[in-house]
Amino acid sequence: MNLLLMGPPGAGKGTQSKRLEGVFGLVQLSTGDMLRAAVKSGSDLGRKAQAIMERGDLVPDDLIIDMISARIEEPDCANGFILDGFPRTVPQAEALAVMLAEKGGKLDHVIELAVDDDAMVQRITGRYTCAGCGQGYHDEFEKPATEGVCDKCGGTEFTRRADDTEDTVRNRLNAYHEQTAPILAYYKEQGVLKDVDGMADIDAVTDQLKGVIGGA
């Protein structure tokens, strides 16, 4: 089974993908995570993507399509995957359809996390991650039990994404509405688009997603 979670930055695609991985035995494919790893490693792709990501613009389609088409050929994708952050443009969606058709696969569910833009700025600018284990926190909504200490691994170092600043978030939201939202119509026409209320609390969103996916 292959899933695609759609929604603007901050909608909860990453959080929910991680939860669904375990439930359905799928692998999360986050193009944002892959690009951040490329930037960190200093690869050719990383050098090309870094400044674009810091501005909150979209990395060119050809680079993204090459990156994801290589990734879905890896053995851990054989049981299916959850796409998080890809496709983000109509040409990417079309390229994905070709890739899946070549493998004899398809997208079983495209699910939009419906959210309120204004709330996204607050969600994103407050989020941070444990540098040791990757556990996510938020300045207001999800603090660790002891301030400065990770609940999960006891680590005391935390990181914030370079593009989680207010100006960049607004640019990322614009990019979503201008370049990514048109994909929703593309999937609606194909009859595979469903939506869930992404403003509900994290567990309730997971339950809604399980209902949509499990009920297919």
For the annotated catalytic residues, the residue numbers are 13, 88, 127, 161, 172
Name which of 34 and 196 has its Cβ closer to ligand AMP: 34
Could you tell me which stretch among 18-26, 57-65, 71-79, 202-210 binds ligand AMP (CB under 6 A)? Answer: 57-65
Residues 158-177 that bind ligand AMP (CB under 6 A): 163, 172
Neighbours of 182 (CB within 10 A): 12
* Angle between helix 182-189 and helix 90-102 axes, rounded to 10 deg: 40
Query: Which of 3, 11, 35, 169 touches ligand AMP (CB under 6 A)?
Result: 35
Query: Which of 11, 53, 113, 183 touches ligand AMP (CB under 6 A)?
Result: 53
Element (H, E) at 3: strand 3-6
Contacts of 181 (CB under 8 A, 6+ apart): none
Site for ligand AMP contains 127 (CB under 6 A): no
Order of all β-strands in the sheet with 3-6: 27-30, 81-84, 3-6, 109-114, 193-197
Could you tell me which stretch among 56-64, 72-80, 105-113, 151-159 binds ligand AMP (CB under 6 A)? Answer: 56-64
Specify which residues 82 forms β-bridges with: 3, 28
Query: Which residues make up the interface to ligand AMP (CB under 6 A)?
Result: 9, 31-32, 35, 52-53, 56-59, 64, 85-86, 88, 92, 163, 172
